[in-house]
Amino acid sequence: MSDNAEEGIARAQAAAAKAAGAAGLKEHHNSNIAYLDERILIFILAIAAIGLIVLWATTSSPLVLYGSFAGVILLTVLWGLMRIKRIEAIKRQRENDAKSWQSD
């Protein structure tokens, strides 16, 4: 998607949130902050992955090698669980939004 299309979508979402009043703007702002937090986390994880590749390529200690490998597995499982919880929260929020639209 081009930058102009993303900007248009963002403007439309902001206009809809503004029309919903102060509560809509606050909710829109919070969802955008969560999206930015996810992007920052992805960049940090990418830098960490590059660091791990360098560590694994240069280390001579089996303790460091296998310990970091176990840490990566553990962090991957924890990150997956956090993503599942986030997806479920988004589904609940969308269901609540759909219910509120149907009752109007």
pTM, two decimals, is 0.53
What are the residue ranges spanned by the domains of the chain? 1-58, 60-104
Tokens in use for 103? 């009752």
Q: What is the per-residue pLDDT for 29?
A: 67
Name residue, tokens 């902001």. 14
Q: What is the per-residue pLDDT for 15?
A: 76
Dist CA 43 CA 73 (whole Å): 19
Q: What is the per-residue pLDDT for 73?
A: 92
Dist CA 95 CA 97 (whole Å): 5
Mean pLDDT split into 10-residue runs, the chain, 104 residues: 66 72 68 74 87 91 92 88 88 82 67
Dihedral angle at the C-alpha atoms of 43, 48, 52, 55, nearest 10 degrees?
Answer: 120
At 1 the three-state DSSP class reads coil
